[in-house]
Amino acid sequence: MSILTRREIMTRMENKPPLVEDFLELRLQLQNNGFDLTLRSVASFSSLGQLALDNEERILPETASLEFGSDDFVLLPPGQYRIVYNEIVHLPNDILAFGFPRSSLLRCGADIRTAVWDAGYSGRSESLLLVHNSHGLRLKHDARIMQLVFMRLDEISEGYKGRYLGENT
């Protein structure tokens, strides 16, 4: 496996579908070794979730959307939040991705937890935002909060076929 460079990401942005679409500002979001994803929405959890060996017993928790204020910011007290990104990612069967919080987010006392973006996944993804700072965090709508790093696989995968294929699009 190898990590895609800025040039390789740009080349794949010209594919149909592009590696990433619905981005806001390519010159700001394209990095040397990844692509910054931006904040579309934030929600708080309002019920419990349930997981088991079989996905048929999976119950995802309910959420309540949080509104951005007139200044386009949302104030988040310490806690856990579901976030959705603006960008739609289209991973071909030879690319997987890992998401990492931007260092500025970490320096504000917050973190993002993600799962692996499997080869073949396509959608507008969700992640878990953890606010650890006891004073909270103000986030502006469309803020760059996570960097997606793309890795080329040594061989072609059969591709993701799970429940979240095409989510939030």
In a domain, 158, yes or no: no
Task: Give this prediction's pTM.
Answer: 0.94
Residue 157's pLDDT is 87
Residue 1's pLDDT is 83
Note the pLDDT tens digit of each residue in 133-143.
999 999 999 99
* Residue 143 belongs to domain spanning: 2-44+63-152
Lookup: tokens for 26: 């390519």
In a domain, 12, yes or no: yes
CATH number where 117 lies: 2.70.40.10
Q: By three-state DSSP, how is residue 107 classified?
A: helix
Pairing of strands 2-3, 144-152: antiparallel
DSSP letter at 7 equals H
Q: Residues with Cβ < 8 Å from 88, sequence gap 6 or more?
A: 20, 21, 22, 122, 123, 124, 169
CA distance 145 to 65: 18
Lookup: tokens for 126: 């969700």
Note the pLDDT tens digit of each residue in 151-167.
999 999 899 999 899 99
Residue 104's pLDDT is 97
DSSP letter at 13 equals H
| CA within 13 Å, CB half, 49 | 11
In a domain, 13, yes or no: yes
The total number of structural domains that make up the chain: 1
Residue 110's pLDDT is 98
